[in-house]
Amino acid sequence: MISPTNKASGRTKNRIREHGPVFEVQGTDETLGGEQLLARSGKWLGWLPRDEFHIECVGEKFIKKVLDK
């Protein structure tokens, strides 16, 4: 679950509002603007700037995947 930061762009706020706070991370990329996460929520798939949202809750599956690395 994620929520927008105070400095989040209107685009990021709209994506969270339109698609809900639960996203599944599909990938990451480093750009000149910082880290971007490829996120999926239902049928929507797109990039969200990592510095524009807070992670409120992380699913057990994600935690297990990170710990297994």
For 9-49, write each residue's pLDDT tens digit.
999 999 999 999 888 888 888 877 788 989 999 899 999 99
Q: What is the pTM of this model?
A: 0.75
* Closest-CA residue to 17 (of 50, 51, 49, 53): 53
pLDDT of residue 67: 46
Q: Please say whether the beta carbons of 60 and 68 come within 8 A.
A: no
pLDDT of residue 32: 72
Q: Specify burial of residue 30 (Cβ count, 10 A radius: 0-12, 13-18, 19+).
A: exposed
Q: Domain range for residue 54?
A: 2-68
Residue 34 CB partners (closer than 8 Å, separation 6+): 49, 50, 51
Number of structural domains found in the chain: 1
pLDDT in the model for residue 12 = 96
